[in-house]
Amino acid sequence: MIRIQNVRDYPELLNEAIQYFWGQWGTETNFNFYQDCIFQSCRTESDLPRFYLAIEDDKIIGSYALLRSDLNSRQDLSPWFACLYINPEARGRNIGDLLQTHAINETRQKGYLKLYLCTELTEYYERTNWNYVGKGYSISDDETRIYEYVIKE
């Protein structure tokens, strides 16, 4: 059975979570960024950011995050669904869909009406009711696609 756990609620997972997120999304020059962001997310009273792990048989098999901002050029949009990753050996089992549904429910519980993400992928998010809303740009001027999910009551 897959459990989805908010890292904030499981402090014993903090170091493993930092290594996991950084290992999937980081570079050799930004470990401290990931460490600080995840550590601070466990200390803040704010509802964002939050980091989640998918765990099966006591092993991390996937992740996602809810962030206040994930695309510097679009500070007007919030919150953001980010860091979706499923270990290769766990793919093909709809775990990505499970994590997206969890994120949408968490977003709804926090009182937000929309959720955003940025990606270069096409077709993956469209099949789970995300709508392409335009282009955005990273701080390094790379173009990316922005998607929006409208939260239903």
> What domains are there in the chain, each with its CATH number?
2-150 (3.40.630.30)
**Contact indicator for 125, 103 with CB cutoff of 8 Å:** no
Q: What is the pLDDT of residue 104?
A: 98
Q: What is the pLDDT of residue 45?
A: 94
**Contact indicator for 86, 107 with CB cutoff of 8 Å:** no
Percent of the chain with pLDDT over 70: 100
With a CB cutoff of 8 Å and minimum separation 6, the contacts of 136 are: 71, 73, 74, 118, 143, 144, 145, 146
Q: What is the pLDDT of residue 126?
A: 94
**Contact indicator for 52, 38 with CB cutoff of 8 Å:** no
Q: Whose CA is closest to 132, among 142, 141, 104, 122? A: 122
Q: What is the pLDDT of residue 72?
A: 87
- How confident is the model over 86-103, as a mean pLDDT? 97
> For the segment 110-152, what is each residue's pLDDT rounded down to a tens digit?
999 999 999 999 889 999 999 999 999 988 899 999 999 999 8
**Contact indicator for 149, 126 with CB cutoff of 8 Å:** no
